[in-house]
Amino acid sequence: MSIRRTALPAAAGGGWSGLALDVDAPARPGLRAEAAGAGRFLLRRADRVVLLARQHPWHYGVHYARTGDYRSPVPPVPAALARRIRETSVDDAAWTARWAHHLVDRLAAAVDGPLHQGSWVLADGMPRWAVAGHWERLRRVDPDRGHITWFGYGHPDDDQRDVLPLRRLAPDGSGRVRAWRRQARDGILPPVLLWWVSGLNTLTVLDGHDRIVAALAEGGPPPVLVLAPAVDPVWRAAWQRHEERGYAERTAHAVAGDATPAWLASLSHRYADALRDTARTEGRTRAWPLRGGAAGWDRLAARLAPGWRTDDRP
């Protein structure tokens, strides 16, 4: 696998915001979505199903069931490496950039990662649409079988989430989490790697389940990098032209109205943020056909999640 990397546009105030990735192979990745039709799909890692999902027939949300077979495609991070990257980074932006390149290297070497041929984005931080309060809810509400609401419609508040772990989160006091908690206190905790899956309309945890728990236990949330397919370039170019026209019109109006330098600077900052958000917007996750279609999905669900119901939400 060969990956060409270029920097995303910086946010207002400068600094590093992420990478655009052009991936030449493979045609089908080891970790992928497979669609069965009628709103049914799954996530597969090699020959193991890690998540079953079925969208609400009226597209209000999605039911999911984890199977317990998920394993991260990223090798464990030694504490010595985490400390060395922190101590040799001149600032937080350099620290994040180094971790981004490290994770891209590991995903390029993985046989069961999600990268496949095409354009991708690896962005710093949560998207603007994310809700900060959802992190704390994740500590207490993370069922193996659950429902993600997209619009509410009378669904419980606990069905609202921005992040879905692909395996059960460990308790705060587990041995693995305690080790990460020490790194969180020392300020060297590596970022969590999230993967956008558009069929879920949610970010999944690709690597860093225990780091999430550690960061939240220490007052979190964790630092994150978000991996997503890039949006269609035609759409991105059209939206950038829209932002450019809007910025030019607002600036001309402000200048004609004797706007203050501070106001003009705020317009420039908002424009820079808009371009950054456009560049990092999550695209559609590609899905491959599931062998056996809907009937095959039903058989897998009966075997891997016996008793699971997908009709318990309006």
Residue 147 has pLDDT above 70, yes or no: yes
Which tens digits make up the pLDDT trace of 31-63?
999 999 999 999 999 999 999 999 988 778 999
Q: Give the per-residue pLDDT at 290.
A: 98
Q: How far apart are CA 314 and CA 307, in angstroms?
A: 19
Record the tokens describing residue 255, joined without a space: 């200048």
Most confident of 143-152, 166-175, 254-263: 166-175
Residue 237 has pLDDT above 80, yes or no: no
Q: How far apart are CA 28 and CA 21, in angstroms?
A: 17
Q: How far apart are CA 275 and CA 247, in angstroms?
A: 11
Q: How many other C-beta atoms can be found within 10 angstroms of the C-beta atom of residue 117?
A: 14
Chain centre distance of CA 302 = 29
Residue 312 has pLDDT above 60, yes or no: no
Q: How far apart are CA 211 and CA 214, in angstroms?
A: 5
**Where do runs of H (alpha helix) occur along 124-187?**
133-140, 175-186
Q: Give the per-residue pLDDT at 12.
A: 59
Provide the mean pLDDT of the chain. 90
Residue 136 has pLDDT above 70, yes or no: yes
Q: Which residue has the higher pLDDT, 222 or 240?
A: 222
Record the tokens describing residue 280, joined without a space: 């990092």
For residue 119, what is the enclosing H or E element? strand 118-124
Which tens digits make up the pLDDT trace of 82-96?
999 999 999 999 999
User: Which pLDDT band holds residue 314 (cuts at 50, 70, 90)?
Assistant: very low
Q: How far apart are CA 32 and CA 41, in angstroms?
A: 10
Which tens digits make up the pLDDT trace of 194-220?
999 999 999 999 999 999 999 999 998
Among 38-52, 97-111, 118-132, 141-155, the minimum mean pLDDT is found in 141-155
User: Which pLDDT band holds residue 280 (cuts at 50, 70, 90)?
Assistant: confident
Q: Give the per-residue pLDDT at 11.
A: 65
SS3 6: strand
Backbone torsions φ then ψ of 96, nearest 5 degrees: -65, -40
Q: How far apart are CA 130 and CA 147, in angstroms?
A: 18
Candidates 61, 54, 33; CA nearest to 301 is: 54
Q: pTM for this structure?
A: 0.90
Q: What is the mean pLDDT of residues 128-154?
A: 88
What is the percentage of the chain residues whose pLDDT exceeds 70? 95
